[in-house]
Amino acid sequence: MEWTGARYADSPTVESQSWIGAPPPRVWELVSDVELMPTLSSELQSVRWLDGATGPAPGARFEGRNRHPAIGEWTTTSHVLTCAPHREFSWAVKNPEAPAALWRFTLEPHDGGTLLHQWVRLGPGPSGLTYAIARAPEQEQQIVFVRLRELERSIGVTLDALKELAERPEEAGA
């Protein structure tokens, strides 16, 4: 990631993609399973559906418990925005009208497999990052840049893990 000098108010984004040798329905099964995501992340510790939801649907909510060495532990509620099977899954962290972050997976059939994109936009709503910036406003651009680099690395790890899981041969009798 190159230095952009972005500020939080710019709603900076990170996106990465990976080609996966599995069809979109298989990849969808994984990306739409929010309870799987903590096994693919060092920051996200656990997820549970709220309000009786058992899976993704527009308007469904889930709670995520997170941990970061520099920030500590926190819990957020996310709201599913888009749930288009085999194509797109997105959610807003905290307030869906002004999210702390907006996350999205998009899937495209490509060369006999799936081109999977993972994207995140920070802000415009308050988050742990806005509190860090408030403590050191003169370092805002550096704080944002460091967080974007962390997210870029994390997305890469997630995409690699999803690829490995999706391409794993089905077990006989499973």
Pairwise CA distance, residues 37 & 128, whole Å: 20
Amino acid at 16: S
pTM of the entire structure?
0.93
As a whole number, mean pLDDT of residues 110-122 equals: 97
Q: pLDDT band at 71, cuts 50/70/90?
A: confident
Q: Is the peptide bond before 124 cis (omega within 30 degrees of 0)?
A: yes
Helix axes 140-167, 24-31, angle to 10 degrees: 130
Summarised one tens digit per residue, pLDDT across range 133-150 is: 999 999 999 999 999 999
Which letter, b or e, does each residue of 65-88 get, where b requires 16 or more Cβ atoms within 10 Å of its Cβ?
ebeeeeeeeeebebbbbebeebeb
As a whole number, mean pLDDT of residues 122-131 equals: 93
Give Cβ neighbours of residue 39 (< 8 Å, ≥ 6 apart): 161
Summarised one tens digit per residue, pLDDT across range 80-93 is: 999 999 999 999 99
> How far is residue 25 from each of residues 112, 130, 142, measured CA to CA in Å?
12, 37, 39
